[in-house]
A and B are shown apart, each in its own frame.
Chain A
Amino acid sequence: MKKKYCLLILTLLLVTGCNEELDCCVQPEQFTVTLNFTHHWNGLKITPQDFNELKFTNENGERLSIERLRYLVSNISLINSKNYHLIDVGENYGTSITFPELTDESYALSFRFGFSDEDNTDGTYQDLNSVSFNVPEILGGGYHFMQFDGKYVDNNNEASGFNYHTIKAVDRTDPDNLKFEDTSFEVNLGTIVVADTTEIEIKMNLAEWFKNPNTWNLNELNTVLMPNFEAQKMMRANGGSVFSLGVVN
């Protein structure tokens, strides 16, 4: 019996001792996570060198090129505070976002494409104003979510411009009573376990913007899409399948 008590006390001491040591002396491990946004067309990798060529074909059979691709992601879940990031693919700007000093070992990785209504406040963000990413006040103000510009081969076999610009949708049927619909959306990429230094690839398939669920007809919907309420809702719907998780290492 004595032996048992001794063993119990020893065990308790050890456990308590370990706890004390953990509380007082061991710093929580820190991790650095980098999100790499990459871009492809149905699996074909896209870099700025692929811009300006009519080398992609959308679901509707229209050949098209990419000339400008800038988009905004916000509230990446790796940190608790509000955050936003502009990604300019043509200028190779913002495609890698590093989060140092993270302390959790796993995260439910998510972000928002664009700004939620709450964050989409007109003229607030100096860096976005400075690169003219604003939306006119007559459309409700705030910011673009994406500027995707290029050319497509139209029904007359001529290259014409398209401006696939996504914003908060606005219905201007009654100019005195504008109706808005939040067309930003959350992208959930599942649970990620991180190590000391983790690189996470987030892939955007540009073909999906023209494909699923709405087969996009560029001959009908090419420019002046910002004030087009229905087009904005369709773009939002197609955006649902654009992002996916790539390589994690």
Chain B
Amino acid sequence: MIKPYIYFFAFFLLTCCSSKEEEIYTPIPYNLEIPALFADKLIAPIIPTDNLLTEEGVLLGKKLFFDKKLSGDNTQACSSCHNPKKAFTDQQQFSAGVQGEFGARNAMPLFNLAWNFDERFAWDGKEFGLEQQALEPVSNPIEMHANWNLVVQKLQESTEYPSLFLRAFGASEIDAKLVTKAIAQFERTLISGDSKFDKYLLGETSLTQEEQNGFNVFMDEAKGDCFHCHGSNNNPLWTDNAFHNNGLDTTFQDLGFGTVTGDPNDNGKFKSPSIRNLAFTAPYMHDGRFATLEEVINHYSEGLQKSSTIDPLMKKVNEGGVHLSPKDKNDLKAFLLSLTDREFINNPNFQE
């Protein structure tokens, strides 16, 4: 009669130990290495208090980011459209989803996302917070086209994930919220701040004459006047992360920010992307309409289209733009390419 009680007691102890393990494991805080220029010039990055970075969380997020289990038919991962070798975009105008369908927006590159202070993500700002953003592509029918419940089930049934979630979040029961938390943690570690121009600002190298003149064109209100929206030597994000109509069209097929806010005054506005890593992120604009940097520069120089919501910062719109000289255009391109960060795209921490 005693034996069954002993078994019961042993089982009880084991259960207690197991739940105690969940309670007592403390993930190791992740040391986010912030580039010197960022630390010097910018306010602190946005790290939600309910999703602090941990070694285990970042590692798990990275594994999930590259895992095709997140798609409906196990053929696509986040990395399929956000390739680290291409500054986390895919160099396609539009990306094909798991069923071969194409969207209408260019895949955005991913870096320095923790410094998006307003936390509006995507070209139209429709997603608030990185965690929220990571939810959408998984279930979007023209992207990864998965059912979140089934994705969670696949992860739960795997041999590795339950223990990884346990270590990262103290819970072996997986849900979509924890998946996106982990992915967001990984994404916040994607920092690009080691280009030639960064080194120049740190006094470690010098610019060519072309690059220097190109920078001056960028900063000259009478020429490029790029700095009002795309940062400067004092804002190393090289974007204001705000929404502007940069004169692409006279009428809008895609309302952009206006769809999100419902305000017609926001129609045709899209997020200013960072101008870092342009060498890897062609084609350009929200709809990938420009294949080359030359086309982009020509647009701002001669191709501006007037509309009711065009940003007042666009100059001489009636003349198509400020008509930069061929030399200024060439030099501006040289400067833009000095923001290429090869350390970033080759960082082993960001590879599959």
Contact = CB atoms under 8 A, between A and B. Distances in A.
Given A134-B234, A138-B216, A224 B315 contact: yes
Contacts of A127: 43
B312 A134 contact: no
A68 B115 CA distance: 22
A134 B234 CA distance: 7
Contacts of B240: 131-132
B313 A126 contact: no
B234 A123 contact: yes
A149 B312 contact: yes
Interface string B99-126: 0000000000000000101000000000
Given A136-B227, A149-B313, A161-B312, A126 B222 contact: no
B156 interface: no
B232 to A, nearest CB: 5
Q: Bin chain A's interface residue count.
A: 20 to 34
Contacts, number: 82
B228 to A, nearest CB: 7
Given A158-B318, A160-B317, A130 B43 contact: yes
A246 to B, nearest CB: 28
Interface in A192-241: 223-224, 226-227
Interface string A127-143: 10111101011100000
Contacts of A114: none
Q: Which of B41, B42, B240 has the most CB of A within 10 A?
A: B41
A127 B117 CA distance: 11
Contacts of A223: 221, 312, 315-316
Contacts of B314: 161
A68 B312 contact: yes
A138 B312 contact: no
Interface of A: 51-52, 67-68, 122-123, 126-127, 129-132, 134, 136-138, 147, 149-151, 156, 158-163, 223-224, 226-227
Interface of B: 41-43, 115, 117, 216, 219-222, 225, 227-229, 231-235, 237, 240, 265, 308-318
The 8 closest A-B pairs by CB, nearest first: A161-B312, A136-B219, A52-B265, A123-B234, A149-B312, A134-B234, A129-B234, A132-B240
22 contacts: A51-B265, A123-B41, A126-B41, A126-B42, A129-B41, A131-B240, A132-B229, A132-B240, A134-B235, A136-B227, A138-B216, A138-B219, A158-B318, A160-B317, A161-B310, A161-B312, A161-B315, A161-B317, A223-B221, A223-B312, A223-B315, A223-B316
